[in-house]
A and B are shown apart, each in its own frame.
Chain A
């Protein structure tokens, strides 16, 4: 299956700073990537759809100015959490969704804001 690589796997940052998470498709080109957030004991909630060469589409209730998504190439999508606060601490994971097959996930990033 397709390989999606996500980095870093974990990060600890101070409140008020920004954090960038990278998601790379290693063996295929992804025009679309999806970003999810998961709080403890909860489901994966779709935050936004990253579109190569155009603006991301954000789900209702997700602050686009806080969660900046860039999809500058067919193999790289990035999520930047700006001015992070403790309530942004969560598990963030990207995925690709080819037609009629499974979703391919990155390894996920555990963000802790202190």
Chain B
């Protein structure tokens, strides 16, 4: 089943923060996060494998809850380059199912 993301869309000014949530109806093996720009392949952001895990690099971080059904992506001090559509990916060991997507627009 497809994970549900919220919000569906976010509009930010440069420097503002955003949180994108991903919810699965069942526990996952791992959760991935990707950003996609129009007409291009998704770009990998990070993967979380363990319940309760939190990780990040630069100004992008993510968490995975203990039950491995919820994940959140945190974008801090957003930049224009953060614009795009963000997808979580639910990995149940045999395939990757993408979430519903969150469209993020960052304006100067």
Interface residues of A (CB under 8 A from B): 34, 36, 41-46, 49, 91, 93, 95, 97, 100-103, 105-108, 110
> Is there an interface contact between B99 and A110, defined as CB atoms closer than 8 Å?
no
Max chain A CB contacts within 10 Å: which of B41, B96, B100, B101? B41
How far is it, in angstroms, between the C-alpha of A95 and the C-alpha of B17 when the chains are bound? 31
Q: Which residue of B lies closest to A103 (CB)?
A: B96
How far is it, in angstroms, between the C-alpha of A43 and the C-alpha of B2 when the chains are bound? 10
Which B residues lie within 8 Å of A107 (CB)? 40-41
Which A residues lie within 8 Å of B103 (CB)? 41
Interface residues of B (CB under 8 A from A): 2, 30, 32, 34, 39-42, 44, 47, 49, 87, 89, 91, 94-101, 103
Provided the pairs A34-B95, A44-B42, A97-B96 are in contact, do residues A103 and B49 lie with their beta carbons within 8 angstroms?
Answer: no
> Is there an interface contact between A105 and B41, defined as CB atoms closer than 8 Å?
yes
How far is it, in angstroms, between the C-alpha of A105 and the C-alpha of B49 when the chains are bound? 20
Q: Which residue of B lies closest to A42 (CB)?
A: B101
Provided the pairs A97-B95, A107-B41, A108-B41 are in contact, do residues A44 and B47 lie with their beta carbons within 8 angstroms?
Answer: no
